[in-house]
Amino acid sequence: MAETQGGRSLVVDAVTHRYPSGALAVENINLDIKGGEIIALLGPSGCGKTTLLRIIAGFIAQSQGRIIIGDDIVDALPPNRRAVGIVFQNYALFPHLSISENVGYGLAARGVDKATRQREAQRLLELVQLPTMSERLPRQLSGGQQQRVALARALAIKPSILLLDEPFAALDKNLRLDMQIEVKRLQRVSGITTLIVTHDQEEALSMADRVAVLSHGKLEQFGSPSDVYDRPQTLFVNTFVGASNRMPGVVVSADRTAAKVRLDAGAEIIARPAGGALTEGGRVTVCIRPEHLQFVGDETGFAGVVGMSLPLGATVVHEVTTADGSGVKVSQARIGETRALESGAAVRLAPLAPSLANAFPATL
């Protein structure tokens, strides 16, 4: 493809935005994105993802901070001069224009003549695998097809940054997977720096080179998918990305790399201090993922009573009630004949390894 120009870098520098209504939507966000990267903005509803996207596109002027694309500070540029392509969640195709005219719209705005426009639109429609749809109107296309057209329309202006706001939310599961692969393929070919907004963690982890996790307008963590999943820096990230058991406890002793924690459930375990230094005697919340807990035969670990076992295909999830009355989930791979666990059976549980239990200072 001709436009392998290596996308431009994007820096979000200490951006804060407060809506006129007084709502603080994003607060001191810093992102340093290299040219050609795919970044996922992940967070629950209302955490400020769309706001940040609209600030980068230029639809909203942030209250504080700077947006830098390549070497240029773009804060003074209106959206139509930022060369940022954006795909809206509802696609926002022009309903009165044909597919070909939709894709060629950005080129028309740049004064490209009609013949070139049509040729380019056709080329892009082939790229998104809709070569025969050019004369139709948007309403004559399915949701997934409209999505592809929206993508082609955004790519037509050869943007230096591509922004996608919940691009796959409206698609059913199979189509969503197809489109995820498709977007990733197009992104690899074109090398355009891409920012995908999503509240679907699987989507973020599978598509992105790096994931930025947001909560209540603040950046919780910005790192590779494995960083975010395996080495979460905050309790929020640990529980929002992937499932996790939260177990309260008290620090017995701690250094920089390991902490001995006495769980309220009744065992001493070694955990990784994940959210900064821990103080002896302080309350902590330990997060352990269901797949990182194992049943142990000896007297190590903490005791519990099995409640219910749910066979979920490749894994079996057991619900166990611990001595302090809280529930934990344990997920076991189903290898051959897994030990059947009766409801009411007494078991003992322990983390697979110390590095797989994360301790965060408890917040009240």
Partner 1 sequence: MGTAPASRDVTSYGMGLAAPLALFFLVFFVAPLLQLLWLSLHNDTAALHWGFGQYLHFLTDPFSLGVLGSTLLLGAEVTAVCLVLGFPIAWLYQRVGPRLQTIIILIVLLPLLTSVVVRTFAWIVILGRQGIINATLQSLGIIDTPLKLLYTQFGVVIALAQVQMPLMTLPLITALGRIDPNLDDASCSLGAGSWRTFFRVVLPLSLPGVIAGCTLTYAAAITAFITQSLIGGGQMLFMPMYLYQQASTLQNWPFASAISIIFLLAVLAVVSVFTTLGRMSRGYGGA
By CB under 6 A, name the binding residues for ligand ATP. Answer: 19, 21, 23, 25, 43, 45-51, 199
The residue within the footprint of partner 1, chosen from 76, 139, 257, 299 (CB under 8 A), is 139
By CB atoms closer than 10 A (0-12, 13-18, 19+), residue 363 is exposed
Alpha carbons within 13 A on the beta-carbon side of 30: 1
| Nearest residue (CB) to partner 1, 54 versus 329 | 54
339 binds partner 1 (CB under 8 A): no
Taking the complex as a whole, the smallest distance from the CB of residue 195 to partner 1 amounts, in Å, to 13
The residue within the footprint of Mg ion, chosen from 50, 146, 160, 190 (CB under 5 A), is 50
Residue 19 binds which entry of partner 1, ligand ATP, Mg ion, none, with Cβ cut-offs from 5 to 8 Å by kind?
ligand ATP
Record the tokens describing residue 300, joined without a space: 């190590």
Distance CA 105, CA 341 (A): 62
The residue within the footprint of partner 1, chosen from 157, 296, 317, 323 (CB under 8 A), is 157
Shortest Cβ contact with ligand ATP: which residue? 50
| Nearest residue (CB) to ligand ATP, 24 versus 296 | 24
252-281: contacts with partner 1 (CB under 8 A): none
Cβ-count burial 81-118 (b if 16+ within 10 Å, e if not): ebbbbbbbbebebeeeebbbbbbbbbbeeeebeeeebb
| Nearest residue (CB) to partner 1, 105 versus 295 | 105
**Look-up of token digits 């701690």:** 254
Residue 79 binds which entry of ligand ATP, partner 1, Mg ion, none, with Cβ cut-offs from 5 to 8 Å by kind?
partner 1
84 binds partner 1 (CB under 8 A): yes
Question: Where does this chain touch partner 1 (CB under 8 A) — which range of 39-47, 131-139, 226-234, 291-299?
Answer: 131-139
Taking the complex as a whole, the smallest distance from the CB of residue 218 to ligand ATP amounts, in Å, to 12
Give the phi and the psi of residue 9 in degrees, each rounded to 5.
-75, 160
| Beta-sheet strands, E only, within the chain | 10-18, 24-33, 38-42, 64-69, 72-73, 84-87, 161-165, 193-198, 210-215, 218-223, 245-254, 259-263, 267-273, 283-288, 293-295, 302-312, 315-322, 327-333, 346-351, 357-361
**Look-up of token digits 């992104």:** 187
Record the tokens describing residue 46, joined without a space: 């209302």
Taking the complex as a whole, the smallest distance from the CB of residue 139 to partner 1 amounts, in Å, to 5
Taking the complex as a whole, the smallest distance from the CB of residue 92 to partner 1 amounts, in Å, to 4
Record the tokens describing residue 326, joined without a space: 């809280």
Taking the complex as a whole, the smallest distance from the CB of residue 49 to ligand ATP amounts, in Å, to 3
52-81: contacts with partner 1 (CB under 8 A): 57-59, 78-81
Question: Where does this chain touch partner 1 (CB under 8 A) — which range of 124-132, 153-161, 223-231, 248-256?
Answer: 153-161
Cβ-count burial 47-65 (b if 16+ within 10 Å, e if not): bbbbbbbbbbbbebebbeb
Distance CA 315, CA 330 (A): 10
Give the count of residues interacting with partner 1 (CB under 8 A).
31
Name the site residues for partner 1 (rule: CB under 8 A): 57-59, 78-86, 88, 90, 92-96, 105-106, 108-110, 137-139, 153-154, 156-157
